[in-house]
Chains A and B, each alone.
Chain A
């Protein structure tokens, strides 16, 4: 695997050279591999948003650099512009950024900006809409006539339509009901399976991260506190609790059982794993 995004000794100071100077992120070295599903967790103010805004050149590093496919994105104006298309960044509550007359035009905004012709733009708009589960009948509607969950999906489609090498989603399911949340998470999963492209998901839900991510990055006080597989990260529950984070609910249950003396493993991150483990402990087999 090769790295699609690399952060090299990245530091970002807010309010530089003022009394309020604070390092939002400091000395970050990180490589996001091509095709990886990276989950980012961290408490509020841990630097997650600052970090991802460097990935597509929205923020300039105070020191250090960001490499995209091995090249410094700050090299030239063109390379910064190219980064915006290579790395698709979808902010929190992206539905507030919808502005066009129709859903179609809104999704087409990115591809058009890239200078693509109408045919290619059309192909991308329809493909992106299909990914997020918006049928053709939605494309003619005004984005403001959609429900909250639909608006959110339309906004994400606008980023997907640029067909970025890496898609970054900051809390894409925040504030949605369980059905809306499931819909968003399952299309992200399908999107990745179908395109094989890199996805970066910032989330406060340990359960979602455990289900989806292939690698987890834990940010704490502006620094990389841990990076590793789901297993490697969530097995360090004590440290996570200290950082104001958590483990998936089912992991909590198994930690509790272990403490009470039930001989269970604690590297359990989904209910399916949990059920299998308890059946093993109880000496039962799984019903097909």
Chain B
């Protein structure tokens, strides 16, 4: 497909079994067919062990499928000669901010990627500044990374990726280890890069509220894609979501409780701001406020 950036065509992946792993040799990802379009913001949900992280690692040739095919901008990830081109297109941000910072100064860390790609020094300087500005960390460029908060470290990691002129960023639970402010910073940065720079975002998370803000939600279960659609559609499948151990966003849950008690809200509620708008409308109609 022309407007897609990553294509999964009937992809299966099983982790190699060394002796102790052998008993758990079930495929982590099974027969997944999925197309990620350019410019999309896709969140991926699923319980621990559902195959989300494996799916993420298949996106930029960290893992290669045993059957089926993953292509990035038309390049087969199984073709070793294309690996650098693929990683230039698709970058990853991981869960633990401390595991992905390599340098002792913020700007050196951001320069690491483009340096590895053999970019001209002048151009590197330009990209580093630009990337740090894009994630709102420019004023920290001369800081030592260990002096930063979790959210700030994650933003530096993101800057390191966009400095490579990546088209797509895969976030693997980037907010699991950081505080509320840091979480909001990372989410805002991902949204801004998607909106303003047209970067495709794949956002793996356990937080339903974060998923609710995506254009599209993919739910993994037992290595397969179980649900795929807009947040409203996916979270509309209340039964399925609960059955596989996920939950619906807290605001949607409140809307359900209201409905059970006879207060029907007219629009779909997923985020707190949806809920405020819908309840406000209902309150106006009921003459409770002006």
- A residues engaging B (CB < 8 A)? 42-45, 144-145, 147-149, 174-181, 204, 206-207, 244-246, 249-250, 252-253, 256-257, 260-263, 271-272, 274-275, 278-279, 281-282, 284, 286-287
Query: Given A43-B181, A286-B261 in contact, is the A175-B206 Cβ separation under 8 Å?
Result: yes
Contact B179 A204 (CB under 8 A): yes
Q: Is B260 an interface residue (CB 8 A)?
A: yes
Looking across the interface, which residue of chain A has its beta carbon closest to that of B23?
A145
Q: Is B44 an interface residue (CB 8 A)?
A: no
Contact B263 A178 (CB under 8 A): no
A158 to chain B, nearest CB (A): 20
Chain A residues contacting B33 (CB-CB under 8 Å) are none
Query: Given A245-B180, A256-B276 in contact, is the A281-B261 Cβ separation under 8 Å?
Result: no
Contact B176 A278 (CB under 8 A): no
**A177 and B53 alpha carbons, distance in the complex (Å):** 13
**A175 and B49 alpha carbons, distance in the complex (Å):** 12
Chain A residues contacting B168 (CB-CB under 8 Å) are none
Query: Given A249-B272, A282-B288 in contact, is the A275-B254 Cβ separation under 8 Å?
Result: yes
B270 to chain A, nearest CB (A): 12
B176 in complex: contacting residue of A144, A174, A271, CB < 8 Å? A174
**A282 and B261 alpha carbons, distance in the complex (Å):** 11
User: 1/0 per position for B161-172, CB-CB distance to A under 8 A?
Assistant: 000000000000
Chain B residues contacting A252 (CB-CB under 8 Å) are 272
29 sample A-B contacts, Cβ–Cβ < 8 Å, listed by A number:
A42-B179, A43-B181, A44-B179, A147-B48, A174-B176, A175-B173, A175-B206, A177-B46, A178-B247, A179-B47, A179-B246, A206-B180, A244-B181, A245-B179, A245-B180, A250-B251, A253-B254, A256-B273, A256-B276, A257-B276, A260-B280, A261-B289, A263-B288, A263-B289, A275-B254, A278-B279, A281-B283, A284-B263, A287-B261
**Using a Cβ–Cβ cut-off of 8 Å, how many residues does chain B contribute to the interface with A?**
47
Query: Given A177-B47, A179-B245 in contact, is the A257-B272 Cβ separation under 8 Å?
Result: no
Q: Is B267 an interface residue (CB 8 A)?
A: no
B283 in complex: contacting residue of A145, A204, A282, A286, CB < 8 Å? A282
Contact B257 A262 (CB under 8 A): no
Q: Is B39 an interface residue (CB 8 A)?
A: no
Chain B residues contacting A256 (CB-CB under 8 Å) are 272-273, 276
Q: Is B149 an interface residue (CB 8 A)?
A: yes
Chain A residues contacting B288 (CB-CB under 8 Å) are 262-263, 281-282
Chain A residues contacting B250 (CB-CB under 8 Å) are 207, 249-250, 271
Contact B245 A177 (CB under 8 A): yes
**A246 and B280 alpha carbons, distance in the complex (Å):** 23
Contact A176 B180 (CB under 8 A): no
B262 in complex: contacting residue of A179, A262, A284, CB < 8 Å? A284
Q: Is B286 an interface residue (CB 8 A)?
A: yes
**A275 and B290 alpha carbons, distance in the complex (Å):** 21
**A250 and B250 alpha carbons, distance in the complex (Å):** 7
**A257 and B23 alpha carbons, distance in the complex (Å):** 53
Chain A residues contacting B55 (CB-CB under 8 Å) are none
- Counting from the closest, the 9 A-B pairs by CB-CB distance are A244-B181, A179-B245, A256-B276, A177-B47, A275-B257, A246-B180, A175-B176, A178-B247, A249-B250
Q: Knowing that A253-B272, A262-B288, A279-B258 touch, tell me 15 more A-B residue pairs with CB under 8 angstroms.
A: A43-B179, A44-B151, A44-B178, A145-B23, A175-B173, A204-B178, A244-B181, A253-B254, A256-B273, A261-B289, A262-B279, A262-B289, A278-B263, A279-B261, A287-B261
Q: Is B209 an interface residue (CB 8 A)?
A: yes
Chain B residues contacting A263 (CB-CB under 8 Å) are 288-289
Chain A residues contacting B150 (CB-CB under 8 Å) are 44
Contact B48 A149 (CB under 8 A): yes
B135 to chain A, nearest CB (A): 17
B253 in complex: contacting residue of A177, A271, A281, CB < 8 Å? A271
Q: Is B82 an interface residue (CB 8 A)?
A: no
Chain B residues contacting A181 (CB-CB under 8 Å) are 206
Looking across the interface, which residue of chain A has its beta carbon closest to that of B284?
A262
